[in-house]
Structure formats: C-alpha cells, structure tokens
C-alpha cells in the first residue's frame, strides 16, 4: 500500500485516504505559499509594464517622436509586454495610455492615447 504524503510538509499522512495535508496549519500554509508565488508573478509583470510606460512617456516628454528599436532597447523597453492593441489599427501597441506603432527601418512612432469625450 502506498503512503500518502502531506503536500505541504511531506510527512506521511495518517487517516483518511483522501486527505492531502496532515492538518489545517499545513493546508493553510500550502495555499498561502501558492497565492504568494502567484502574486509575485503578477507583480513582476506589473513592474515591467510600469517601466515600459515610463520609458515611452519619457521619450514623449523629451519630444522624441520616432525612437529607433535600439533607442527603446537601450532605455530598457521590453517588447514582450503591452497592455492592449488598437482595434482600428492592430499595429498600434499600447502600454496603458502611451504606445508605439512599428514603422519600416526598425523605427517606431510614439503614440499618446487621447481620452475620448
């Protein structure tokens, strides 16, 4: 007969066959850890998005209209993370209220989302 081990502490579980944890403290700890690592994943994505937004906003503020891919990369822009795309123009990628439009020669046009009235 195989012994079942607690998913949290790994101790052999006594009692019911369907038990997954030795007790409530192991069960609670297991779910807390799972939630924490999930939260850490979200936080990482959020921080990349915030950094991407900051970079585009900074270029806009400096009056740069068409940064090159190189310029964006050097500033630390991460091309894997955007919040959404424009419905009308699928080549416009946004990070919250600022975005980029891919142009020929590895250039990008910076976009600023104007709030519709």
Residues that bind Zn ion (CB under 5 A): 6, 8-9, 11, 22, 26
Q: Is 13 or 100 the residue whose CB approaches Zn ion more closely?
A: 13
What is d(CA 91, CA 85) in angstroms, rounded to the nearest whole number?
Answer: 7
| CA-based max dimension of the chain | 72
Question: In angstroms, what is the minimal distance from the CB of 18 to Zn ion?
Answer: 15
106-113-44-33 Cα dihedral, nearest 10 degrees: -150
Min dist CB 39 to Zn ion, Å, is 23
Q: How far apart are CA 14 and CA 97, in angstroms?
A: 56
**Which of residues 8 and 52 has its CB atom nearest to Zn ion in the complex?**
8
Pick between residue 9 and residue 66 the one whose CB is nearest to Zn ion.
9
Q: How far is the CB of 16 from Zn ion (least distance, A)?
A: 14
């Amino acid at each position: 007969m195989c012994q079942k081990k607690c998913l949290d502490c790994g101790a052999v579980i006594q009692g019911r066959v369907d038990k997954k944890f030795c007790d409530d403290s192991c069960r609670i700890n297991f779910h807390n850890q799972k939630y924490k690592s999930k939260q850490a994943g979200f936080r990482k994505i959020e921080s990349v998005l915030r950094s991407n937004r900051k970079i585009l906003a900074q270029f806009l503020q400096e009056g740069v209209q068409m940064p090159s891919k190189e310029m964006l990369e050097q500033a630390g822009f991460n091309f894997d993370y955007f919040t959404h795309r424009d419905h009308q123009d699928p080549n416009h990628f946004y990070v919250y209220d600022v975005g980029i439009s891919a142009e020929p020669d590895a250039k990008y046009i910076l976009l600023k989302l104007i709030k519709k009235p």
